[in-house]
């Protein structure tokens, strides 16, 4: 047997690659096209008109470009490069970001893309660049959503190939809103309420908070509460007659859907 064979079918195959000194040091898998110029081309044997000895992988013939081989075929090389693409996976249409939040932007990609630009759009119009030239590792953390952004449900994120701006993807439109907060404005530290007195508990809030819960504490003990109140900034209350005297009462008002937002 005459060694490893690399013929394909019943052909005497001409490899239409230019030959140079480095030809055999680079695998055709990594460099299927070979050098772009040279003084000769590489001809591989096949079993149409060659003896078995001449079709092994270690046997090669050289021919000048001007020489005609009427009994040779040709090789077709396929470009195996992967088409470049980007798909933004986060944020989605249901995403809500608050100003000042730390948020993650995620994407997937195909092809050789080393670095990304990430931009914010509002209503299809460029708003600001979040980062330029970040490594294409599929995720970027925006440590603080810009607090100057206007509320809106028409924001989108565009992730773009840093070296080829025509390769990009844009997320679905999502919401950015003002950071949520609650501030109790009444009672204050100087207020004195009597049992059965009609009083108004008041507060202000920022961000989207539809309903609030109201808790009344004496020290650290919960003594009264009201749930699912409209976030309209006021709650009329008749001070419960069963409450004992004390100077350690306090009111807590919290976002019904996120108890970590309270005042």
pLDDT digits (tens, 9 = 90+) for 161-172: 999 999 999 999
Average pLDDT of the chain to the nearest whole number? 83
* pLDDT for residue 195 is more than 70: yes
Residues 242/167, Cβ–Cβ less than 8 Å: no
116-137 per-position pLDDT tens digit:
999 999 999 999 999 999 999 9
CATH fold of 85-177:
Immunoglobulin-like (2.60.40)
Tell me phi and psi for residue 165, to 5 degrees. Answer: -65, -15
How is the chain split into domains, by residue range? Answer: 1-80, 85-177, 181-262
Task: Output 8 or 166, whichever has higher pLDDT.
Answer: 166
> Strand (E) positions, 20-172?
40-43, 61-63, 85-90, 96-98, 103-110, 115-122, 125-135, 139-142, 152-161, 168-170
Tokens at residue 177, please?
Answer: 């809103």
* pLDDT for residue 36 is more than 60: yes
* 85-177 and 181-262 in the same fold: yes
User: Mean pLDDT lowest for which of 18-32, 101-115, 203-217, 226-240?
Assistant: 18-32
* pLDDT for residue 72 is more than 60: no
pTM of the model: 0.56
Average pLDDT over residues 243-258: 96
**pLDDT of the residue at 46:** 44
**pLDDT of the residue at 214:** 98
137-155 per-position pLDDT tens digit:
999 999 999 999 999 999 9
Average pLDDT over residues 103-127: 98
Q: What is the DSSP letter of 243?
A: P
Which CATH architecture best describes the domain 181-262? Answer: Sandwich (2.60)
**pLDDT of the residue at 30:** 65
* pLDDT for residue 52 is more than 60: no
Residue 173, preceding peptide bond in cis (omega within 30° of 0): no
């Amino acid at each position: 047997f005459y060694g490893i064979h690399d013929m394909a079918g019943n052909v005497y195959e001409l490899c239409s690659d230019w030959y140079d000194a480095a030809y055999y040091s680079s695998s055709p898998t990594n460099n299927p096209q070979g050098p772009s110029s040279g003084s000769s081309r590489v001809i591989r044997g096949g079993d149409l008109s060659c003896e078995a000895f001449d079709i092994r992988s270690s046997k090669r013939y050289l021919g000048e470009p001007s020489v005609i081989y009427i009994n040779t075929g040709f090789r077709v090389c396929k470009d195996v490069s992967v088409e470049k693409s980007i798909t933004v996976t986060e944020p989605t249409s249901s995403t809500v970001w608050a100003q000042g939040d730390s948020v993650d932007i995620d994407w997937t990609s195909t092809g050789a893309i080393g670095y990304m630009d990430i931009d914010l759009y509002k209503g299809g119009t460029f708003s600001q660049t979040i980062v330029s030239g970040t490594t294409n590792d599929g995720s970027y953390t925006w440590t603080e959503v810009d607090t100057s952004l206007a509320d809106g449900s028409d924001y989108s994120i565009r992730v773009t190939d840093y070296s080829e701006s025509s390769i990009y993807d844009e997320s679905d439109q999502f919401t950015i809103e003002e950071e949520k907060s609650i501030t109790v404005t009444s009672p204050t530290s100087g207020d004195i309420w009597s049992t059965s007195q009609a009083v108004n508990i008041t507060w202000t809030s920022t961000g989207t908070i539809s309903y609030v819960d109201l808790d009344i504490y004496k020290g650290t003990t919960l003594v009264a509460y009201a749930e699912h109140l409209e976030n309209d900034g006021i709650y009329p209350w008749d001070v419960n007659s069963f409450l004992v005297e004390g100077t350690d009462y306090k009111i807590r008002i919290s976002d019904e859907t996120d108890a970590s937002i309270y005042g």
